[in-house]
Amino acid sequence: MIAPAELDAQDCAILAVLQEDARLSTGAIARRIGLSQPATWRRIRRLAEAGVLAGQRLDLDLEALGFTVTVFLGIKLATRGRVSLEDFERAISAIPEVQGVQHVLGLYDYRVRVVARDLADFERILRRRIMTLPGVGDVEANVLLSEERLPGPLG
Amino acid sequence: MLDDTDRRILRQLQAGPGLAASALAERAGTTAATCIRRIERLRARGIIRGQHMRICWPALGYAVEVSLRITLDKTARNAFDDFLAEARRVPEVIEMQTFLGRVDVRLSLIARDMTHYQHIYRHRILTLPHINDIEALMHLSSVKTDPVLPL
């Protein structure tokens, strides 16, 4: 872990550049932030070793690939305590259309991101794959209209 | 349209976005040259829009992540646009989504600890325009994070 005080403006600049394009070479990043290539490389290595770089995310045009619907589900387990969370997590993660699962605390137990070809396809996934999972209780569905990712508190 | 080779490459690229072309080609059962050419074409066609590094915020001292589910006062003119423009200016907001459903907007908010979270919530979130209601879900853990589309 890196304490916030140990992260200077140049580290933040490197992170911002990588968030935008993870494919850039060390040389290209160095030129953008105005540091030497070895200095940039050392900083990137330090960030990687501290576990700050959490892997790459591929941004695909879902619609062009035939997935016109993304839905976020809030799922409440019906019989908490009797259903093993691990079993539920394993089962829901195994559904191919499920693109993300978060365990949360509050009104729901899980937040689940589902992609589907269209609303009819979504209904099929919901009825046949998700509602049939052991322990599923209350389910709320919200259809995604727009999504924006922000750089976060860097500098 | 995509052919089987494109689909195989996309599947492998999603599973390992940081892989070199040679490793990708081997996993997709094609040659490195084909792999590079196909990926370039997918980029040119806008199917691959970008490749982004994800930041592990807990590793930078942001231990708390909260999902804020917000309903807006839709009778106000431009409620969505006003709200999003203001929310975008809060540095700790790392994701914004709009929905059709019971919830209008969701924000992902990070904070160093609960005291910090409470501060941001009171001074930066509750002051955002046109809020009708807010529900908070505290993020405990990510169970599945690496999406691979069923192509």
Domain spans of chain B, in order of start: 4-44, 57-138
- Looking at residues B7-21, what average pLDDT do you find? 91
**CB-based contact B72:B138 (threshold 8 Å):** no
Residue A45 and residue A73 in one domain: no
Are A20 and A83 found together in one domain? no
**What pLDDT is stored for residue A80 in this prediction?**
57
Q: How far apart are CA B11 and CA B147, in angstroms?
A: 10
- Say how far apart CA B148 and CA B150 lie, in whole Å: 6
Whether A45 and A76 map to the same domain: the answer is no
| B18 pLDDT tier (thresholds 50, 70, 90) | confident
Residues whose CB is less than 8 angstroms from the CB of residue B74 and which lie 6 or more positions away in sequence, other chains included: B104
Pairwise CB contact (< 8 Å): B56 & A147: no
Fold of the CATH domain B57-138: Alpha-Beta Plaits (3.30.70)
Which chain B residues are Cβ-neighbours of A54 within 8 angstroms? Answer: 53-56, 59
Average pLDDT over residues A27-45: 96
CATH number for the domain harbouring residue A115: 3.30.70.920
Average pLDDT over residues B9-23: 90
Same domain, A137 and A75: yes
Quick one: A35 and A83 in the same domain? Answer: no
Specify if A153 maps to a domain. no
Q: Assess if residue A125 is contained within a domain.
A: yes
- Within 10 angstroms of residue A95's Cβ, the number of other Cβ atoms is 18
ipTM over 0.95: no
Residue contact A99–B13, C-beta within 8 A:
no
Domain that holds residue A43: 4-49
What is residue A81's predicted lDDT score, i.e. its pLDDT?
Answer: 62
Identify the residue among B10, B51, B52, B53 best suited for mutation to test binding to A, counting A beta carbons within 10 A and taking the highest. B53
* A139 shares a domain with A74: yes
Pairing of strands B131-144, A98-105: antiparallel
What does the mean pLDDT of chain B come to? Answer: 94
DSSP assignment of B56-80, as one string? Answer: -GGGGT--EEEEEEEEE-TTSTTHH
Model confidence over B41-94: pLDDT tens digits?
A: 999 999 999 999 999 999 999 999 999 999 999 899 999 999 999 999 999 999
Res B151: pLDDT: 87
The answer as to whether A123 is a domain residue is yes
Do residues A137 and A79 share a domain? yes
Contacts of A74 in chain B (CB under 8 A): 137
Per-residue pLDDT band for B147 (boundaries 50, 70, 90) equals confident
Closest Cα in chain A, distance from residue B149 (Å):
7
Are B4-44 and B57-138 in the same CATH fold? no
Claim to verify: residue A41 and residue A10 sit in the same structural domain: yes
Pick from B45, B46, B97: which is nearest to A144 by CB?
Answer: B97
> 49-88 in B: which are within 8 Å (CB) of A?
49-62, 67, 69, 84, 88
| A146 vs B92: CA distance, rounded Å | 19
A8 lies in the same domain as A41: yes
| Record: contact A104-B102, CB cut-off 8 A | no
Tokens of A19: 């968030």
Burial grade of B17 (CB within 10 A; 0-12, 13-18, 19 or more): buried
Q: Which residue of A has its CA nearest to B103?
A: A142
Shared domain for A85 and A139, answered yes or no, is yes
CA A57 to CA B51: how far, in whole Å?
6
Q: What is the CATH number of the domain that holds A10?
A: 1.10.10.10
Instruction: Provide the domain count of chain A.
Output: 2
Residue-wise pLDDT tens digits, A44-99:
999 999 999 999 999 999 999 999 999 999 999 987 567 788 999 999 999 999 99
Choose which CATH entry (3.30.70, 1.10.3470, 1.10.8, 1.10.10) describes domain B4-44.
1.10.10
Cα dihedral B122→B123→B129→B135 (10° resolution): -30
Facing A104 at nearest CB: one of B100, B140, B146: B140
Please give the torsion angle defined by the CA atoms of residues B31, B32, B33 and B35, in that order, rounded to the nearest 10 degrees. Answer: 90
> Would residue A73 count as lying in a domain?
yes
Q: Inspect the interface and report whether the beta carbons of A50 and B99 lie closer than 8 Å.
A: no
Looking at chain B, how many residues does it have?
Answer: 151
User: Mean pLDDT lowest for which of A56-60, A118-122, B146-150?
Assistant: B146-150
B14 pLDDT exceeds 80? yes
Q: Reply yes or no on whether the pLDDT at B4 is more than 90.
A: yes
**B22: closest CA of chain A, how far (Å):** 16
Same domain, A30 and A80: no
The reported pTM is: 0.92
Task: Give the mean pLDDT of chain A.
Answer: 93
* Span B20-29, pLDDT tens digits: 889 999 999 9
In a domain? residue A55? no
Asked if B151's CB is within 8 angstroms of A61's CB, the reply is no
CA distance A2 to A64: 39
